[in-house]
Amino acid sequence: MIEAAEKIISCFVSGMANYQSHPGDPRSFSRDVEEALGVIKSLNIEHFFTITVSDENSMFINGIRMLLGKSDARKFFLKLRKKGVVTVVVSKGVRAEELQRFLEDLASSVGFFHSYAHIAVKRSEQKPRSDIFTPGRSLKDDYLQIRRIYSDISVKGHIEMTAVDAVMGRLIANVREEVGLLSLLVPLERDVDDLYIHSAKVAMLSILQGEHLGLGNALLYDIGLAALLHDVGKTLLPPALLDKQDPLSEAEWAVMKNHPVYGAGLLASLSKIPEIAIIVAYEHHRKYDGTGYPETRIRRRKQHIISQIVAIADFYCAVSASLPHRKPLSHTSIMGLLVETAGKEFNPLLVENFVRAMAKGKSGAETMKA
C-alpha cells in the first residue's frame, strides 16, 4: 500500500508541475492522471481512499503515515496545507476529468475547489480567500464573455474554463453584493431577448436562490454554470428562428423544442463540464409534475433539484422580457403566477425560497439605488 500511495502522490505532483508549465493545455498532464488512476484502480479499494493532513507535519493516506523528507509527499503535503485542505476523500469510480480538475484547482493560486462527483475536499476553517469571487464592474463585459463562451462551445467544440471561472466568480460575487440585481427585477426594453443577457440573468437568479438556501461556493458555481449554459442548444437553431419578432408557428415551435436535446448533446461532448450542466440543459423545460419537454418514457421521472431551480429563474426571465408581440409581466404578476402553479409546474418549496430571496434582493437593490 505504501508504494502505491507514494506512486499516486508522485503522479499528482508531476501532474501539477506539468499543468503549471502548460496551464492552457490539459494534455500536458493527462498521462500523469491516467497513471495515478491506474494505481488507484489496482488498489481494489472497496469504497474510497482518504488523504488527511492532521497537524503541522503529518500526512496520512488511508491511515498510513507518509514520510515527508525531501520527497514528492512533502511537496504534496505543502500544497494541501497552503490551500487549507485537511481531508481529501477519493471514492470508487473516480474519473480522469475529475482528478484532472482537482489537481488544477490544487495547483492554481486561487483558493477555490470545484465540486467533483467522486472527490470530496474538506478544508480548515481558516481557508485562504477565494479570489475568483470578486464583483465585476460592468455586466456588459460579462455578456461579451458569455457570448464568447457560447460560440467557443458551438463553433469550436471547446470551453475555456478560465473564462468560465472568471464569469462565474463575478456573477456569484455580484449576487452576494447585490450589484445589478435591480436590472434583473425590472423589465428592460432593449436587448431583452438576447440569448446571452437572458443566460446571465437566469444564472444570477439561480445563484440567488442557491445563496438563499445557504449553499456553499462549489455548489453555487455548479448551479450558476448550469444556468448560464441552459440554452446553449439554441446556438444550433436557425438564427432566423431565434430572431423572429412574431409568435412562432406550430412547425417552428417543434424546431425550437429541440434546443434542450441539442444543448445536452453539445455539453456532453466537452470534457470538464460538470454533469449537472448537461442534466439542466436537457431538463430545464420539463416540469415538476413530470410534464413538459423533452418528453421521456418515464413520465414521472423527477427533474433534478438544480433543474428545478433553473426552471424558476428561466420562467421569471422569460416572462419579464419585453417582446414585440408580448408585453412583459410585472414582478408582482410573475410572483403570483409562480405561487399559483407551484406543485404543478414548479417545486413548491423552491418557489417559496425564490419569493423570499426576491423580496430580500429587491429591497436590498432598491436601498442601494436610493
Nearest CA to 60 out of 23, 102, 28, 89 is that of 89
Of 3-11, 53-61, 75-83, 224-232, which segment contacts Fe ion by CB under 5 A?
Answer: 224-232
| Interface with Fe ion, residue 231, by CB under 5 A | yes
Contact between 145 and 165 (Cβ < 8 Å)? no
Nearer to Fe ion, 317 or 335 (CB): 317
Q: Please, what is the minimum distance in Å from the beta carbon of residue 360 to Fe ion?
A: 24
Q: Is the dihedral of CA 213, 84, 130, 268 positive or negative?
A: negative
The DSSP code sequence of 179-217 is TTHHHHHS--SSSTT-HHHHHHHHHHHHHHHHHHTT--H
| Interface with Fe ion, residue 283, by CB under 5 A | no
Nearer to Fe ion, 103 or 227 (CB): 227
Compose the 175-214 pattern: x for residues touching Fe ion by CB under 5 A, - for all others: ----------------------------------------
Of 5-13, 123-131, 208-216, 312-320, which segment contacts Fe ion by CB under 5 A?
Answer: 312-320
CB-based burial label for 93 (10 Å; 0-12, 13-18, 19+): exposed
| Interface with Fe ion, residue 35, by CB under 5 A | no
Cell of 191: 436587448
Of 14-22, 97-105, 228-236, 293-301, which segment contacts Fe ion by CB under 5 A?
Answer: 228-236
Per CB under 5 A, contacts with Fe ion among 106-135 are none
Tell me how many residues contact Fe ion (CB under 5 A): 2
Nearer to Fe ion, 134 or 258 (CB): 258
Nearest CA to 62 out of 6, 125, 118 is that of 6
Single residue of 181, 314, 338, 358 touching Fe ion by CB under 5 A: 314
Q: Please, what is the minimum distance in Å from the beta carbon of residue 232 to Fe ion?
A: 9
**Residues paired with 50 in a beta bridge:** 89
C-alpha distances (whole Å) from 321 to each of 47, 183, 185, 233, 308 are 49, 11, 10, 20, 20
Residue 146 CA to residue 197 CA, distance in Å, equals 8
Q: What is the DSSP letter of 53?
A: E
Q: Please, what is the minimum distance in Å from the beta carbon of residue 173 to Fe ion?
A: 23
Q: Please, what is the minimum distance in Å from the beta carbon of residue 233 to Fe ion?
A: 8
Nearer to Fe ion, 90 or 310 (CB): 310
Q: Which residues of the chain form contacts with Fe ion (CB under 5 A)?
A: 231, 314
